Amino acid sequence: MAVNFGRVLTAMITPFKEDGSVNYECVEKLSAYLVENGSDTLVVCGTTGESPTLTWDEEYQLFQVVQKAVSGKAKVMAGTGSNSTAEAIAATQKAAKIGLDGSLQVVPYYNKPPQAGLYQHFQEIATAVPDLPLMLYNVPGRTGQNLLPETVARLASIPSIVAIKEASGDLNQVSEIRRQTPSEFQIYSGDDSLSLPILAVGGTGVVSVASHLVGSQLQQMIQAFESGKTQLATEIHLKLFPLFQALFCTANPIPLKAALAMQGWDVGSTRLPLCGLPDNLKPMLEAVLTELSLL
85, 124 Cβ separation under 8 angstroms: yes
Is 165 among the catalytic positions? yes
DSSP state of 51: G
Is 137 among the catalytic positions? yes
Neighbouring CB atoms inside 10 A of 173's CB total 18
Q: At what angle do helices 85-98 and 56-69 cross, to 10 degrees?
A: 30
Measured distance CA(99)–CA(79) in Å, rounded: 14
- Among 84, 76, 83, which residue's Cα sits nearest to residue 60? 76
- In 125-275, beta strands by DSSP E: 134-138, 161-166, 186-189, 205-208
CA dihedral 93, 96, 101, 104 (to 10 degrees): -10
Q: Kindly tell me the sign of the dihedral angle through the C-alpha atoms of 118, 119, 121, 122.
A: positive
Distance of CA 204 to the CA centre of its chain: 14
Strands 186-189 and 161-166: parallel
Which of the following is catalytic: 24, 60, 119, 137? 137
Which of the following is catalytic: 75, 119, 165, 188? 165
Count of H-run helices and E-run strands, the chain: 12, 8
DSSP string for 225-257: HHTT-HHHHHHHHHHHHHHHHHTTSSSTTHHHH
φ/ψ of residue 142, rounded to 5: -105, -35
105, 137 Cβ separation under 8 angstroms: yes
- Active site members: 137, 165
